[in-house]
């Protein structure tokens, strides 16, 4: 398999790769996440893990610090796009992504470098690490002891997707013209023209404080009625902001699934029986409290992200650059038919990277 090594054949740190290279791979993660939604899957919950391709590539090319920053930007960008930055979904994403990335880094250093394992095994190690974390968190947040019923399915799904992702990575590295250009480029800096930073208004600070307090309330309060009162408040706020155009199906799924799995472990007063299944008050209240907390976190997060609150400083500049690059990453059905999904992705990445590196060089020339 053809290898596209960094200049000098060494792993690179953040300073040598350039901040824009880091932003570009982060945007690529978001781009491939969007592509994945268009790929038919046998099960709705199944994820192929295409967004992990840049992480696998980075694990092979970059140092630990650079890979960790890439994963952080990946999960933050996905949360910004989906509006789940301060929800349980973000906790799952952060935990699973970092577990996967760190395990792949360890396996790369111990086994891959010595040619003991291939990209497929590297991908599988990351997928199974992610799966283990998801099972632990599902037990804590969602299903408790009932997690044992879904753990085998999650493990099987992760094994399949990890294997397929490894195959995809091998094939992409073999044919990618973008990788040749990307890893042979010199470091590209972020915002070479250094535009004037915008100040954050007091209104944004107050709004952030209000939303943070609401999030703390939802997480810490154990009264089911208080939690659901806050859920209804933010449901109304989101519906008003989106003019009623809001998909409530995921929230309904969370409420039903968490409550049903809670009822599998009955305790408290028996309210009634359903085909021999005892519905108990304690289990029902616990399920509604947990599901209310989870849905409330998502609703507060969505309202926060729709409030157009800017992230200050260099981190904000990096996130803005990631989002700007991501918006340019799209292709037509005609491009897919002509080149296939892999060729279309590679062609789009190559054209955008040439445009970015060219514009960067032009800006630096003007400054000098």
Tens of pLDDT, residue by residue over 332-364, are 556 666 667 777 778 888 888 888 776 665 554
The token pair at 260 is 């049903």
Q: What are the CA-CA distances from residue 329 to residues 146, 244, 291, 345 (Å)?
A: 41, 29, 36, 9
For residues 280 and 271, give the distance between their C-alpha atoms in angstroms, rounded to a whole number: 5
Alpha-carbon gap, residue 55 to 109, rounded angstroms: 15
Tokens of 114: 């010595």
Q: What is the DSSP-derived secondary structure letter of residue 12?
A: B
For the ranges 28-42, 115-129, 276-290, which has the lowest average pLDDT? 28-42
- 247 pLDDT more than 60: yes
Alpha-carbon distance 107 to 103, whole Å?
Answer: 6
Report how far residue 359's alpha carbon sits from residue 182's, in angstroms, rounded to the nearest whole number.
Answer: 15
HSE of 159 in the Cβ direction (CA atoms, 13 Å)?
Answer: 6
Instruction: Encode pLDDT of 180-220 as tens digits.
Output: 888 776 655 555 445 445 555 666 677 777 877 887 788 77
CA 176 remoteness from chain centre: 24
**Cβ contacts of 149 within 8 Å, gap of 6 or more:** 143
CA 7 to chain centre: 29
Mean pLDDT of the region 328-334:
64
What per-residue confidence (pLDDT) applies to 17? 55
- pLDDT mean over 255-265: 81
Nearest CA among 63, 65, 66, 77 for reference residue 32: 77
Name the residue among 73, 60, 49 with its Cα closest to residue 127: 49
Q: Determine the 3-state secondary structure of 271 from DSSP.
A: strand
Tokens 């989106």 label which residue? 242
Query: Minimal CA–CA distance to 287: which of 309, 266, 259, 313?
Result: 259
Contacts of 365 (CB under 8 A, 6+ apart): none
Question: In the chain, what are the helix, strand and coil shares in percent, each to the nearest 5?
Answer: 75, 5, 20
Give the count of alpha carbons within 13 A of 342, CB side only: 14
Q: Which of 313, 349, 351, 363 is nearest to 32 (CA)?
A: 349
Which tokens is 127 given?
């997928």
Q: Which of 42-46, 102-106, 285-289 has the lowest mean pLDDT?
A: 42-46
pLDDT digits 0-9 by tens, 7-65 = 344 555 444 456 778 888 888 888 887 666 555 554 444 566 778 888 998 888 888 88
Q: Is the pLDDT of residue 284 over 50?
A: yes
Cα(94)–Cα(109) distance, integer angstroms: 22
CA-based end-to-end distance of the chain: 41
Distance between CA 273 and CA 256 in Å, rounded?
A: 18
Nearest Cα neighbor of 126 from 145, 110, 108, 139 is 108
CA atoms within 13 A on the CB side of 337: 3
Q: What ranges make up the beta strands (E) of the chain?
A: 270-274, 277-280
Copy the structure tokens of residue 251. 């929230």
């Amino acid at each position: 398999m053809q290898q596209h090594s960094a200049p000098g054949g060494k792993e690179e740190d953040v300073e040598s790769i350039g901040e824009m290279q880091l932003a570009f791979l982060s945007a690529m993660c978001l781009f491939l996440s969007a592509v994945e939604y268009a790929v038919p899957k046998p099960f709705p919950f199944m994820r192929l893990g295409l967004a992990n391709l840049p992480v696998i590539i980075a694990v092979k090319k970059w140092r630990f610090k650079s890979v960790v920053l890439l994963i952080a930007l990946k999960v933050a960008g996905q949360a910004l796009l989906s509006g789940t930055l301060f929800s349980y979904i973000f906790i799952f994403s952060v935990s699973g992504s970092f577990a996967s990335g760190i395990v792949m880094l360890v396996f790369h250093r111990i086994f891959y470098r010595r040619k003991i394992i291939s990209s497929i095994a590297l991908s599988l190690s990351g997928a199974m690490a992610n799966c283990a974390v998801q099972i632990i968190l599902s037990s804590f947040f969602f299903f408790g002891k009932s997690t044992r019923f879904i753990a085998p399915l999650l493990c099987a799904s992760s094994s399949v997707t990890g294997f397929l992702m490894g195959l995809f990575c091998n094939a992409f590295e073999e044919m990618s013209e973008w990788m040749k250009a990307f890893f042979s480029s010199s470091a590209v800096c972020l915002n070479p023209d250094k535009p004037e930073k915008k100040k954050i208004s007091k209104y944004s600070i107050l709004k952030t404080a209000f939303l943070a307090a609401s999030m703390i309330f939802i997480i810490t309060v154990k009264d089911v009625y208080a939690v659901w009162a806050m859920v209804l408040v933010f449901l109304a706020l989101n519906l008003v902001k989106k003019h009623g155009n809001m998909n409530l199906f995921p929230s309904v799924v969370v409420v039903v699934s968490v409550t049903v799995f809670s009822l599998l472990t009955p305790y408290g007063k028996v309210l009634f029986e359903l085909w021999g299944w005892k519905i108990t008050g304690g289990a029902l209240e616990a399920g509604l409290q947990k599901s209310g907390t989870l849905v409330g976190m998502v609703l507060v997060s969505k309202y926060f992200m729709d409030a157009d609150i800017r992230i200050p400083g260099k981190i904000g500049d990096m996130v803005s650059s990631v989002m700007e690059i991501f918006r340019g990453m799209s292709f037509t059905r005609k491009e897919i038919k002509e080149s296939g999904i892999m060729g279309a992705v590679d062609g789009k990445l190559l054209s955008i990277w040439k445009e970015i590196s060219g514009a960067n060089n032009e800006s630096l020339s003007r400054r000098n």
